[in-house]
Chain A
Amino acid sequence: MVRTLYGSRIRSQATFRTSFLADLLGQLLVVSTEFLELWVILTQVSTLGGMTLTQVAVVYGLGALAFGIGDILFGEIDGLSTQIKSGKLETLLIRPVPVLLQISSLDLSLRRIGRIVVGLAMYVTALVLAGFQPTAATLLLAVLAPLAGALLFGALFTVAGALQFWLVDGREFANAFTYGGNYVATTPGAVFALPLRAFFTFVIPATLIAYAPTLTLLELPGPALIPAWAGWLGLPAAIVAWLLAGLLWRAGIRRYTGAGG
């Protein structure tokens, strides 16, 4: 069933080819511009948060890859308020399938694949250039990190969506955490002041998505609060985040069917 759901989305987008190509190009441009910004900074200073350009590129590529996968799978959940307002949510509630699964497959946007392509290319290239010495463990981490990061972003999107059961126009507020989380994830965590770094490690674990794994992979010493072994914390953090997201989502559905209007 899951295959039918997602398969149908892919087919429907294949019907709008010009629009798909335009979106894809736009995505490539956005991702490249974002990295250009980091590159410009690094032409002025030799290191950013203790990292060289290639090392920053690893962080950026890994963050973009994780966000890309999370966005393509769960990116539509934060548009929940639109579904509530148009009444679409009610048609989802009368089907025998979890609403979360229906929404995430509802608008699976293939054009978001652009971010994944750029992220993956940058991640692999930069890792090689930065002198990555693979052992069995670090190779596993290199593969696991983007997936754990994608799960973390997915949980963030779900939290952002669930919040909209309470905040009718909550998309902008919620995006501060999802897209804000993306910005933090693609930046070396050491550049942030300590309180901010703590917030984005322990509350919204964005630094655990790309920065911490990069430290572990490249055997770099971490700043305060983010030791090198923190690179392995992505998956546990993702699991905790999903538990919270799941609870919040269920409470949201219960609120909608209960007191909400």
Chain B
Amino acid sequence: MNLPEQSSTHSARLAVELVRLRRDYVVRSPVAGSRRRRRQVVRAVDDVTLRIDRGETVGFVGANGAGKSTTIKMMTGILQPTSGAVRVLGRDPVPERRHLAREIGVVFGQRSQLWWDLPLRDSYRILGAMHRLTDRAREQRLERLAAGLDLGGFLDRPVRQLSLGQRMRGEVAAALLHSPELVVLDEPTIGLDMVSKEGLRRFLREDRAERGTTLFLTTHDMGDVERLCNRIVVVNSGTVAYDGALDSFRERLGAPRELVVDLEEPLDVLTLPTAAHTLAVEAGGIRHRIAFSGAELTVPTLLTAIGSQAAVRDLSLSEPAIEDLVRQIYSRGGRL
């Protein structure tokens, strides 16, 4: 697993370096009318090259089965790549898995790493012991995490009695307890309500600002990427379809957020700020669908502009789905 010569001096600065990474799974499926099973190779990750500097925040997005989880497993040492090179914080993940575990924090959104029949606080005591934190260091860090993630109310409750939102915050605290340099979050906000999502994002931003952590997250939620990441990597069928700054991603895809307003009185045309445009006027001028760029325009500004022309009776706001954006990329032939 040797990296090319020229990258070795560079790789000290890098948090993550994936070079032509590939991973195959062998699947054996029964064949009708035969006792032998067919051996089939499925390529989950196909030629992923990605370099992440220390301190970056990267949103790793793509549809289900795009290869996100497999990539994370290779980064954390759970899976050996079929070919290609992977370095995380200067280490080779599989042989140095347990060393690496001290320096990275991982949240698998779908799986709990807490002890379900123990009070939440006890999980941190056990994890603290595993990471060889002193009691004092652990308590100090936990105090900070409990304040930031608002855990205080349920630290002494058994994990099995926590709501999904509470448990998720507990999971994030578990991954951050040992103050890892690299934080890997796999679907951290899945199933959470808006308030919990925002709370979680706010704390992740704060913690990153305080400690300069590198953040790598997979998500289906464009909101996570918008509020947490400065770089977005889109994967599709195991390859990188887009890799670049979030701003240019949004710019090139146009105005991804959508506001639907119902007016008191019908109106044919609404005059809108430049970053917004009308997609459709429905119900004889009552309902207006407006697309706008979340980066350039806030919802209150947009509403004020509309409110000066007509009275608004009802409104709804929709975030663009990652799947739609990925589809848009592909409709342009995989390039932006």
Interfacial chain A residues near B104, Cβ < 8 Å: 94
In the complex, which of the residues A15, A16, A261 has the most CB atoms of chain B within 10 Å of its own CB atom? A261
Residue A257, interface by CB 8 Å: yes
Q: A12-B115, A98-B98, A261-B26 are in contact. List 5 more A-B contacts (CB 8 A).
A: A8-B118, A12-B122, A88-B111, A95-B127, A97-B98
B209 to chain A, nearest CB (A): 25
**Other-chain contact of A257, B27, B80, B117, B126 (Cβ < 8 Å):** B80
Residue A1, interface by CB 8 Å: yes
| Contact (Cβ within 8 A) A91 B130 | no
Complex alpha-carbon distance, A215 and B158, angstroms: 50
| B contact set with A: CB distance below 8 Å | 25-27, 73, 76-80, 94, 97-99, 101-102, 104, 106, 108, 110-113, 115, 117-118, 122, 125-127, 129-132, 158
B92 to chain A, nearest CB (A): 12
Interface string of A88-110 (1 = CB under 8 A from B): 10110111111000000000000
Complex alpha-carbon distance, A1 and B134, angstroms: 11
Residue A18, interface by CB 8 Å: no
Which residues in window 224-261 of A have CB below 8 A to B? 257-259, 261
B141 to chain A, nearest CB (A): 16
Residue A5, interface by CB 8 Å: yes
Which residues in window 1-17 of A have CB below 8 A to B? 1, 4-5, 8, 11-12, 15-16
B135 to chain A, nearest CB (A): 11
Dominant SS among interface residues on chain B: mixed
Interfacial chain A residues near B77, Cβ < 8 Å: 93-94, 257
| Contact (Cβ within 8 A) B27 A8 | no
In the complex, which of the residues B27, B94, B97 has the most CB atoms of chain A within 10 Å of its own CB atom? B97
**Given the interface contacts A8-B125, A96-B99, does A91 sit within 8 Å of B118 by beta carbon?**
no
| Contact (Cβ within 8 A) A8 B115 | yes
| Contact (Cβ within 8 A) A5 B108 | no
What are 19 inter-chain pairs, A to B, with CB distance below 8 A? Answer: A1-B129, A8-B115, A8-B122, A12-B117, A12-B122, A87-B108, A87-B110, A87-B111, A90-B78, A90-B108, A91-B111, A94-B101, A95-B101, A95-B130, A96-B99, A96-B101, A96-B131, A257-B77, A257-B94
Complex alpha-carbon distance, A53 and B197, angstroms: 68
| Contact (Cβ within 8 A) B126 A5 | yes
Interfacial chain A residues near B131, Cβ < 8 Å: 96
Counted as pairs of residues, one from A and one from B, with CB atoms less than 8 Å apart, the total is 72
**Given the interface contacts A12-B118, A15-B158, A261-B26, does A90 sit within 8 Å of B101 by beta carbon?**
no
Interfacial chain B residues near A98, Cβ < 8 Å: 98
Complex alpha-carbon distance, A11 and B106, angstroms: 26
**Given the interface contacts A87-B108, A257-B80, A261-B25, does A93 sit within 8 Å of B97 by beta carbon?**
yes
| Contact (Cβ within 8 A) B117 A90 | no
**Given the interface contacts A12-B118, A257-B94, does A94 sit within 8 Å of B126 by beta carbon?**
no
| Contact (Cβ within 8 A) B26 A93 | no
Complex alpha-carbon distance, A155 and B176, angstroms: 35
| Contact (Cβ within 8 A) A94 B76 | yes
**Other-chain contact of B132, A1, A12, A90, A91 (Cβ < 8 Å):** A1
Complex alpha-carbon distance, A77 and B73, angstroms: 23
| Contact (Cβ within 8 A) A259 B78 | no
B90 to chain A, nearest CB (A): 17
Report the nearest A residue to B27, measured CB to CB: A261
| Contact (Cβ within 8 A) A257 B78 | yes
Complex alpha-carbon distance, A35 and B266, angstroms: 88
Complex alpha-carbon distance, A12 and B122, angstroms: 10
Complex alpha-carbon distance, A259 and B25, angstroms: 7
Interface string of A56-94 (1 = CB under 8 A from B): 000000000000000000000000000000111011011
Report the nearest B residue to A93, measured CB to CB: B78
A163 to chain B, nearest CB (A): 19
| Contact (Cβ within 8 A) B129 A4 | yes
| Contact (Cβ within 8 A) A97 B108 | no
Interfacial chain A residues near B130, Cβ < 8 Å: 1, 5, 95-97
Closest A-B pairs by Cβ, 5 of them: A4-B129, A91-B113, A96-B101, A1-B129, A261-B25
A180 to chain B, nearest CB (A): 29
Interfacial chain B residues near A11, Cβ < 8 Å: 118, 122
| Contact (Cβ within 8 A) A4 B111 | no
Complex alpha-carbon distance, A184 and B301, angstroms: 80
| Contact (Cβ within 8 A) B111 A257 | no
Complex alpha-carbon distance, A109 and B129, angstroms: 21
**Given the interface contacts A87-B108, A87-B110, A91-B113, does A4 sit within 8 Å of B76 by beta carbon?**
no
Report the nearest A residue to B106, measured CB to CB: A94
Report the nearest A residue to B23, measured CB to CB: A261
A199 to chain B, nearest CB (A): 31
Interfacial chain A residues near B111, Cβ < 8 Å: 86-88, 90-91
Interfacial chain A residues near B26, Cβ < 8 Å: 259, 261
Interfacial chain A residues near B79, Cβ < 8 Å: 257
B19 to chain A, nearest CB (A): 19
Interfacial chain A residues near B126, Cβ < 8 Å: 4-5, 8
Interface string of A142-157 (1 = CB under 8 A from B): 0000000000000000
| Contact (Cβ within 8 A) A90 B112 | no
Complex alpha-carbon distance, A15 and B119, angstroms: 10
Interfacial chain B residues near A257, Cβ < 8 Å: 77-80, 94, 97
Interfacial chain B residues near A261, Cβ < 8 Å: 25-27
